[in-house]
């Protein structure tokens, strides 16, 4: 796994959040190769 820290602009962050609302958190995290630990919602709410 690549451990380089990526930086997202404010606009990119908002777009990722909007996408998570529409497509689901798990799908969005996987698509952007983000760790679940970055998500503040408990796993039970993500379903």
- Comparing 4 with 11, the larger pLDDT belongs to 11
Band (31; pLDDT cuts 50, 70, 90): very high
- Could you give the CA distance from residue 26 to residue 45 in angstroms, rounded to a whole number? 11
pLDDT of residue 8: 86
Per-residue pLDDT tens over the stretch 32-45: 988 887 766 555 55
Per-residue confidence (pLDDT) for residue 5, from 0 to 100: 76
Task: List, in order, residues 6 or more apart from 20 with CB less than 8 Å away.
Answer: 28, 29
- Confidence (pTM): 0.65
Overall residue count recorded for the chain in this entry: 47
Give the pLDDT of residue 47.
47
Cα distances from 20 to residues 2, 4, 27, 40, 47, in angstroms, run 23, 23, 8, 13, 11
């Amino acid at each position: 796994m690549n451990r380089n820290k990526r930086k997202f602009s404010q606009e990119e962050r908002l777009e990722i959040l909007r996408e998570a609302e529409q497509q689901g958190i798990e799908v969005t995290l996987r698509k952007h190769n983000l760790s679940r630990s970055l998500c503040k919602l408990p796993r039970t709410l993500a379903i």
